[in-house]
Each structure stands twice: as C-alpha cells, then as structure tokens.
C-alpha cells in the first residue's frame, strides 16, 4: 500500500543550518568576554558597529571572514579575530561538504572609566548631639543629633 502525499512528513529544512550552542545570548556573552578594545580606538574615543561576513564549514569552524562595514582604529581587526574564535554546532548533512555564509554585527562601546587608583577619598565625620545636664529633670524630649561629613 502506497502512502499518500499528505501523510509523508518532510523536514522543514533540507539543510540544517549551523547554530551556536547556548543561542544568541551565549554568543553575545562569548564576544563580550573575548573583546579586547583596541588601544588606538580608546585613545581616539571611537565607538561604533563593525559588520562582518563569515563562512562556516561543515564541521562548524569559521573558515573565512570579511569586514563589510567597519570603523577602523583596530576595531575591524578585533572583530575579525573574535569571529574566527566562534565554534558552531552542525547537524548531520548527508555526507555533503557544505559551507554556510553568515553575517554578524559587533558593537564597540567605550568601557566606562574606572576611578583612578591613586586618588583616595578623605573624610571627617562629626556628630553633635544634645546631652542632659546633671541634676536637671528634662521632660521627655526626643534626642537630637546631627551628622556632618566633609570630603576633600
């Protein structure tokens, strides 16, 4: 008995695309940890986005990269370096050698300036409070105190 066309299930995609294990969130975290902001870009206060096209082999390795749109000052080279470190997972592809072309945007945003280690904060604190005099009976007044902090 032959099966009708309606009962035969077909795979959604003939070729399974490569994917980063952990998804987009894990990929972004990997890129963030691997990024070494170029010194030249920090000196010139350069920020922006680098667009990179890359090819993924059938084994999941990035084999070719090309900057399509860059910002220079070492950021383009850093973006390519990071993309070459990416490793993708691949499903079985019927013993065919397939290369997938993908695109990615890598954002460069200047790191927040950390406070200088040589500067130390000095402060003096004063507390003034109202005290009872000996031998006097006070009505139940709430204690008052004032605090001052001076930083220089």
Burial category of 111 from C-beta neighbours within 10 Å (exposed 0-12, middle 13-18, buried 19 and up): exposed
Locate the domains of the chain by residue range: 23-108
- Residue 13 is predicted with a pLDDT of 61
Distance CA 46, CA 68 (A): 18
Burial category of 138 from C-beta neighbours within 10 Å (exposed 0-12, middle 13-18, buried 19 and up): exposed
Read off the pLDDT band of 100 (50, 70, 90): very high
pTM to 2 decimals?
A: 0.64
User: In this predicted model, what pLDDT tens digit does every residue of 23-70 receive, in sequence order?
Assistant: 999 999 999 999 999 999 999 999 999 999 999 998 899 999 999 999
* Closest C-alpha among 48, 112, 115, 98 to residue 76: 48
User: In this predicted model, what pLDDT tens digit does every residue of 18-31 receive, in sequence order?
Assistant: 899 999 999 999 99
| Torsions phi, psi for 126 (to 5 deg) | -125, 140
Distance CA 100, CA 56 (A): 5
* Closest C-alpha among 93, 99, 87, 101 to residue 54: 101
* Closest C-alpha among 53, 44, 56 to residue 108: 44
Q: What is the pLDDT of the chain when averaged over all its residues?
A: 79
Please give the CATH superfamily to which domain 23-108 belongs: TonB (3.30.2420.10)
| Torsions phi, psi for 44 (to 5 deg) | -90, 0
Would you say 55 and 100 are in contact if contact means Cβ atoms under 8 Å apart?
A: yes
């Amino acid at each position: 008995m032959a099966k009708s066309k309606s009962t035969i299930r077909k795979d959604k995609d003939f070729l399974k695309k490569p994917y980063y294990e952990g998804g987009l969130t894990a990929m972004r975290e990997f890129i963030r940890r691997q990024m070494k902001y170029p010194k030249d870009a920090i000196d010139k206060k350069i920020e922006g986005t680098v667009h990179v096209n890359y090819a993924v082999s059938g084994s999941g390795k990035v084999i070719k990269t090309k900057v399509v749109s860059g910002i220079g000052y070492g950021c383009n080279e850093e973006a390519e370096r990071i993309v070459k470190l990416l490793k993708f997972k691949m499903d079985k592809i019927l013993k065919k050698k397939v290369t997938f072309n993908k695109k990615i945007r890598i954002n460069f945003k200047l790191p927040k300036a950390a406070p200088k280690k040589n500067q130390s904060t000095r402060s003096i604190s004063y507390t003034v409070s109202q005290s009872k005099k000996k031998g006097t009976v006070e009505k139940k007044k709430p204690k008052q105190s004032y605090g001052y902090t001076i930083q220089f």
